[in-house]
Structures are given as C-alpha cells and as structure tokens.
C-alpha cells in the first residue's frame, strides 16, 4: 500500500472567486478529518487573506472547523502587513509567515501543492 500523501492547499482566490476558495478550504478540512493524507496544511495568499480577515459567518465557521480538526493554517506575513490585517488574521488562529519560505519548506518535505 502506498504512503499517504502530504498535501498543501494554497488558497489565493478571494471575493472574486469566493466559492472556489471556500471549496478548497472545505476539501482541506474533509481530507484532514478523514485521515486519508499523512498531513494537510493550508496557506492563504493574496486576495484570500483579505477575504478571510473580514467578519463572515460562513468563513468563520469553516475556520473554526479547521481549528477543531487540527488543520495547520498560515498566511503570508508580508501581504498581511501591507494590507494591515495582521491582527484580524492572528485573531482567527492563522499563523503569519513568509509565504515563499513556507512553500519551499513544504515542497522540500514532499508536500503536494493544490491550488484554489
């Protein structure tokens, strides 16, 4: 039986493609919850950071589910700082890190990138 994959969901879609972004987050939660992957991480990047920083019942509910599932979530610290949304993202349990560094490390550890 092959090893379970490690997956990194990169969600960059924002309000212009809200359903696409939310579908990606839902898929990440479901895969993490099912245990069908060795590990699942989510990185929010660009427009998605602004979208999730706002008060939104659906998004906040998904982020709460992600937290209860133990899903690791990060967002680009540079974008968060430039958009002045650091506090909002951290308040939602999102770790802020340089996106390039996170991506390089994940690829080096064998994570499969999946983009939404």
CATH no. for residue 105?
3.40.1260.10
Give the confidence band of 108 by pLDDT, cuts at 50, 70, 90. Answer: very high
31 occurs within a structural domain: yes
1 occurs within a structural domain: no
Strand blocks (E) in 1-116:
6-11, 39-44, 72-76, 95-97, 111-115
70 occurs within a structural domain: yes
Q: Using one digit for the tens of pLDDT, what is the confidence trace for 66-94?
A: 999 999 999 999 999 999 999 999 999 99
23 occurs within a structural domain: yes
Query: Residue 45 is part of which domain span?
Result: 6-115
44 occurs within a structural domain: yes
Between CA 81 and CA 88, with CA 84 as vertex, the angle to 5 degrees is 100
Query: Is the pTM for the entire model greater than 0.85?
Result: yes
80 occurs within a structural domain: yes
Q: pLDDT at position 1, please?
A: 56
What whole-number distance in Å separates Cα of residue 32 and Cα of residue 51? Answer: 22
39 occurs within a structural domain: yes
What's the structural domain count of the chain? 1
């Amino acid at each position: 039986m092959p090893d379970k994959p490690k997956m990194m969901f990169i969600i960059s879609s924002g309000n212009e493609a809200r359903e696409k972004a939310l579908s990606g987050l839902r898929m990440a939660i479901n895969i993490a919850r099912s245990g069908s992957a060795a590990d699942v991480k989510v990185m929010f990047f660009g427009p998605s950071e602004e979208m999730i920083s706002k008060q939104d019942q659906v998004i906040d509910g998904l982020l709460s589910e992600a937290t209860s599932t133990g899903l690791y979530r990060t967002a680009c610290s540079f974008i968060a700082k430039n958009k002045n949304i650091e506090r909002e993202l951290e308040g939602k349990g999102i770790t802020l890190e340089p996106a390039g560094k996170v991506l390089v490390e994940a690829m080096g550890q064998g994570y499969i990138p999946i983009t939404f």
